């Protein structure tokens, strides 16, 4: 099974790499949480919020489905 980081869509990996220049500690924490977990539901709410800060989405623009499953951030493999 792949980690969340391995499943992450390329545009979000690139965004994290870019933001790591200005926010190395925070981005490092986000990347570690994605590398340490295999399912979105295993992230804490805080870890999910920290990740979402580095996407083009605001907290309020995400549906309850997005918060529950996070599928829009990951490559779906059958």
Residue 47 C-beta-side C-alpha neighbours within 13 Å? 19
Mean pLDDT of the chain: 94
- Using alpha carbons, select from 61, 64, 34 the residue that is nearest to residue 47: 34
For position 76, what pLDDT does the model report? Answer: 79
pTM of the model: 0.89
Per residue in 50-78, pLDDT tens? 999 999 899 999 999 999 999 999 997 75
- Helix (H) or strand (E) run with residue 69 in it: helix 64-69
Between the alpha carbon of residue 13 and those of residues 1, 60, 75, 78, the distances in Å are 19, 22, 12, 21
Question: Can you tell me the mean pLDDT for 36-62?
Answer: 94
For position 56, what pLDDT does the model report? Answer: 87
């Amino acid at each position: 099974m792949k980690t969340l980081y391995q499943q992450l869509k390329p545009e979000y990996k690139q965004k994290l790499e870019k933001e790591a220049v200005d926010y190395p500690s925070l981005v490092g924490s986000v990347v570690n949480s994605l590398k340490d977990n295999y399912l979105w539901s295993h992230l804490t709410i805080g870890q999910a919020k920290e990740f979402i800060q580095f996407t083009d989405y605001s907290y309020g623009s995400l549906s309850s489905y997005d918060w529950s499953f996070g599928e829009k951030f990951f490559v779906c493999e059958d």
